Amino acid sequence: MHLLPSVWATTSSPRGLAPAASGEVYRARDEHLDRNVAIKVLPPKTFSDDSARKHFRKEALALSKLNHPNIATIHDFDTQQGISFLVMEYVPGVTLSQRIANHALPEKEFMRLGLQLVEGMAAAHEQGVIHRDLKPTNLRLTPDGR
C-alpha cells in the first residue's frame, strides 16, 4: 500500500496486519520512540464531509484519553491528503477468534479473559466511549495471557 510519506515519516517496515471493518491495520516501527505501533488507516470515503471529519477527531480525542491495561493506547491521529489514520499501541499475540478457532477456552481462562474485557469496557464507558464493534476478531490476546 502506498501512503503519504509523512504518515510513515517516523516508521519503518509497514506490514499489513489485518483488514478491519472500518479500514486496514498495519504494523510499523516508530523509529523516534523505538517501539512497534499499529496504524489503522480508514477508508477515504468514510470522511466525505466536514461533520464526519469532526466526528473522527472527537472520537480519536476521546480514545486517546483512555488509559487502561486492557485497552490499546492511541498515540496519535491525523488526516493527511484525505487519508485519516490512528497510530496506536501494537498489541502482540492472536485474536480471540484465532484462539477459539479449534477449541473452546477452558473455564478458568474464559472467566479471566471475560473479567479483563469487562474491566476494559467499564473504563471506556466511564469516559463516555462505547466500542460499537466488539467481537472476537477485534480482541487481541497477548502471549502473557492478557
Question: Annotated catalytic residue: which of 30, 34, 133, 144?
Answer: 133
Question: What is the per-residue DSSP string for 22-62?
Answer: TEEEEEEEETTTTEEEEEEEEPGGGG-SHHHHHHHHHHHHH
CA angle 16, 74, 19 (to 5 degrees): 25
The x, y and z cell numbers of residue 69, run together, are 491495561
50 tagged catalytic: no
Question: Do 110 and 57 meet the contact criterion of CB atoms below 8 Å apart?
Answer: no
Check: CB of residue 78 under 8 Å from CB of residue 84.
Answer: yes
Do 68 and 119 contact (CB within 8 A), yes or no? Answer: yes
> Is residue 142 classed as helix, strand or coil in its secondary structure?
coil
Active-site residues, by number, are 133
